[in-house]
Each structure stands twice: as structure tokens, then as C-alpha cells.
């Protein structure tokens, strides 16, 4: 008996997705609810599971194809996988695998004549995330193709002994070196998420009256507090005490005092919020995503750190859901983790402001008439001047600065 696999419900107002990659091949056995392919929406990548246990008979779509909710994307033959001794069934499965591979424009990964490696999207993301050299890894897939598991295993082996794994046999012959001065290009179709990011950011620039105000912040007090309590904090709450929870609390304090920075425009009305739903920009394989920590003004430091850590982990795994990124009244983006000294972040519509954090570096500053070296960070608040006046933006950023420089303010609501 054959069962059709259909595109699952993707989320409110989301009606279509793009086929990202096949996680299985025709002829492979699958369990009920086991993912067989990934689908990319405007915001997240979701997995399409098999509704029954059986064998993949065929795929009805190709990588890169746009599919609507409810469309048939695969057919599953219910029952056990064909026995390896059954020549006719095994041969048919092998033929289906070959046909499935041919349909995938960027589906596999293999070494080309010039020594380069063509990788599937999942493998390419894993290579970038783990920082390994794909040409040094022996693939376990068909025809020696790399799989995501091969990359993860190589990364673990490298991390355990400080070098690449030596268990894999060396290639029979070294690839021919590229000609000196040879120039290459690679043309890759933008993912649906990247296209949406591009449209939203460009739309924010065209619609909002963007302006950025800057300040610098002495991180001494926060660093001292963190060093003093980080061990007890981790022991009690099971999570490290980071800087983000301090800035989240400081932002909540400022947004309560300057509500326009936490508001948004809806038609000819301004919507003010008496709560703070914080969008935290985190890096995902397909681009930047902004999951929302809700009612952060009511949360403890530990609750904030746990929520942000969970979102960061799920972003890397590609397991964020549509509802995780819905809403949000204010955004914090931390470019400092990548070494940024200063930037002008773009607001996340329909929000009206975003706080940009940057790297901490020792700089000479004047304190009580003396030049001293302090750990300083530049802060940037980009805002929509249609709704937020300069005085309000500067005041809000100043409150955040003062709260970080004197964390006691956050405890006594000053």
C-alpha cells in the first residue's frame, strides 16, 4: 500500500515553501514521523516527516522547487524494506536512488577534476559550522559522497586530538593543483530565507526614517559582577552568566521609562506596549534569525540566559519554529561576538528600534581627571525617527549605559 507525503502546515499565513534538501533517498527505509526532506520557509527550515513506516518509493519534487501546503512531495510504500537478497527489488531501489540523485541540482557532493568538492546544502552548512576541510574527509555515502555525519565525526576527531582524524585512508592520488592565477565563480540560488531577509531589510530602509545614536559603555562593573558570581550562578541555574542578560535587563528598564522606543506604527496609529518581547538576533545556517523572548521584563537573569541559550542551540540545529519568531517589540543584535567595533544596525519591522552591541576592548578614558584603562564597548541604537524623537532615543540609550555601568540600578529600578 502506498501513502502520499504532503507538505505539512507551516505556520500562520505561510502557504508555501522551497524544497531545501532530501534527507533520504528512494529505496531507503523510514520510520513513522522520521524526516525525509527539509523545507525552507520565509523564516525557518522545517522538516517533512513520513506519516508511516515503510520504504521511500519516489519523490515528486526537486530541490529548489516551490511547493504549497498540502502538495504531494513523496510516496511511501508501507511495510518493511526490501531484502538485500531480492535482486529485482534491490535493483529497482538502486535505480530509483540514481534517478533521485540526478534530479537534485545540488544534492550530492563529489570531487571534481580540479580537486574541488561539490556538497549538498546540509553538508556545506556543517563544514562551515565545524570549520573542517572537506577534502580531508573520506565520505561514507554513495560513490564516496560526504554526509553530514562524516563532517560531524571529523570535527569531533579533530577536537579530541587537536588535528584531523588519521583513521581514514589517504586518497589514491592527490588532486591536480589548480592552475596559477585561475579565477573561479560559483552561482548559488538564494534561499527563501535569505530572499526574505533581503526584502525586509531593504523595506525597512525605504519605509522607516532610520537614524542611529551612539554611546560608549564602561563594562568594568558588569565584568566584576560576572566574575564574582559566575560559578555560583552556573552551579545553581545550570547555565553560564553572560553579558546578554545584563543588556536585556538594562533595555527593559529603559523601554519602561521611554515607551516610544518599545512602540510601533500601525497605519495612522502608534501602538504602545506595557511589556517587552525581546527579539534576539542569532546566527543560523541560512542567515540571521530573531527568535523572541517574551515578557523579558518579568524574567530573572537565569531565565533570560536559559531562553537565549536554547534559541541559539535550536537556531544552529535548524529546529526553530515559526511561532518562535512571531512578534517582538525590541531587538538586541550582538555584533561583538564577531569582532565588530561599531555598526549601525537596521530595525526589524514593525519594531521601531534595535540595540547594537559590539566588542569589548581596553581603551584609555578620563575618570575623575585621570586617564585610566577601562574595558569599553560602543553601543548603537538605531530607531525610526517617524515615531521616536532624538531626545527619546538618546535618553533610552543613556539609561541602558548607566544601568550597565552601575548594575545596582537594575535591582532598585533606577
Catalytic center residues: 385, 389
Going by DSSP bridges, is the β-strand pair 29-30/54-59 parallel, antiparallel, or unpaired?
Answer: antiparallel
Cβ contact 167:137 at 8 Å: no
How many Cα atoms occupy the beta-carbon half-sphere of 33 within 13 Å?
Answer: 0
Q: Which residues are 383's β-sheet partners? A: 211, 353
Q: What share of residues in the chain are helix, strand, coil (percent, to 5)?
A: 35, 25, 40
Q: Residue 362: is it exposed, middle or buried by C-beta count within 10 angstroms (0-12/13-18/19+)?
A: exposed
d(CA 276, CA 255): 8
d(CA 148, CA 321): 22
The CA–CA distances, whole Å, from 53 to 78, 117, 201, 230 equal 6, 34, 43, 48
What are the strands of the beta sheet with 54-59, ordered from one edge?
Answer: 2-6, 72-78, 54-59, 29-30
Encode 91-112: b = buried (16+ Cβ within 10 Å), e = exposed.
eebeebbeebbeebeebbbebe
The CA–CA distances, whole Å, from 235 to 232, 310, 387 equal 5, 18, 44
The CA–CA distances, whole Å, from 106 to 21, 63, 100, 187, 300 equal 9, 8, 12, 11, 46
Amino acid at each position: 500500500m502506498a501513502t502520499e507525503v504532503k507538505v505539512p502546515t507551516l505556520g500562520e499565513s505561510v502557504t508555501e515553501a522551497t524544497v531545501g534538501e532530501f534527507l533520504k533517498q528512494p529505496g531507503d527505509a523510514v520510520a513513522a514521523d522520521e524526516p525525509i526532506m527539509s523545507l525552507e520557509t520565509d523564516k525557518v527550515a522545517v522538516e517533512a516527516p513520513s506519516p508511516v513506516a515503510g520504504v521511500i518509493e519516489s519523490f515528486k519534487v526537486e530541490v529548489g522547487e516551490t511547493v504549497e501546503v498540502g502538495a504531494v512531495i513523496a510516496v511511501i510504500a508501507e511495510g518493511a524494506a526490501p531484502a538485500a537478497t531480492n535482486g529485482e527489488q534491490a535493483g529497482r531501489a538502486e535505480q530509483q536512488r540514481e534517478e533521485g540523485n540526478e534530479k537534485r541540482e545540488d544534492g550530492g557532493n563529489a570531487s571534481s577534476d580540479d580537486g574541488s568538492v561539490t556538497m549538498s546544502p546540509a553538508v556545506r552548512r556543517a563544514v562551515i559550522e565545524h570549520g573542517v576541510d572537506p577534502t580531508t574527509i573520506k565520505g561514507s555515502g554513495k560513490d564516496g559522497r560526504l554526509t553530514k555525519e562524516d563532517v560531524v565525526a571529523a570535527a569531533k576527531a579533530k577536537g579530541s586530538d587537536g588535528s584531523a582524524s588519521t583513521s581514514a585512508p589517504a586518497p589514491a592520488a592527490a588532486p591536480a593543483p589548480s592552475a596559477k592565477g585561475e579565477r573561479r565563480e560559483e552561482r548559488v540560488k538564494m534561499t527563501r530565507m535569505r530572499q526574505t531577509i533581503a526584502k525586509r531589510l531593504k523595506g525597512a530602509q525605504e519605509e522607516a526614517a532610520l537614524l542611529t545614536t551612539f554611546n560608549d559603555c564602561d563594562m568594568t562593573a558588569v565584568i566584576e559582577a560576572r566574575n564574582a558570581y559566575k560559578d555560583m550562578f552556573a552551579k545553581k541555574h545550570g547555565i553560564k552568566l553572560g553579558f546578554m542578560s545584563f543588556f536585556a535587563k538594562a533595555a527593559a528598564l529603559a523601554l519602561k521609562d521611554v515607551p516610544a522606543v518599545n512602540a510601533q506604527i500601525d497605519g495612522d496609529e502608534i501602538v504602545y506596549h506595557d511589556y517587552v518581547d525581546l527579539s534576539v538576533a542569532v546566527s543560523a545556517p541560512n542567515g540571521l534569525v530573531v527568535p523572541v523572548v517574551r515578557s523579558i521584563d518579568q524574567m530573572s537573569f537565569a531565565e533570560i540566559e536559559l531562553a537565549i541559550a536554547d534559541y541559539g542551540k535550536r537556531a544552529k540545529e535548524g529546529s526553530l519554529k515559526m511561532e518562535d519568531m512571531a512578534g517582538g517589540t525590541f531587538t538586541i543584535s550582538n555584533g561583538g561576538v564577531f569582532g565588530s567595533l561599531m555598526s549601525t544596525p537596521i530595525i526589524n519591522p514593525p519594531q521601531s528600534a534595535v540595540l547594537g552591541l559590539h566588542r569589548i576592548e581596553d581603551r584609555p578614558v578620563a575618570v575623575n581627571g585621570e586617564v585610566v584603562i577601562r574595558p569599553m564597548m560602543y553601543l548603537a541604537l538605531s530607531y525610526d525617527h517617524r515615531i521616536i524623537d532624538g531626545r527619546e532615543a538618546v535618553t533610552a540609550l543613556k539609561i541602558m549605559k548607566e544601568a550597565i555601568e552601575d548594575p545596582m540600578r537594575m535591582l532598585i529600578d533606577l
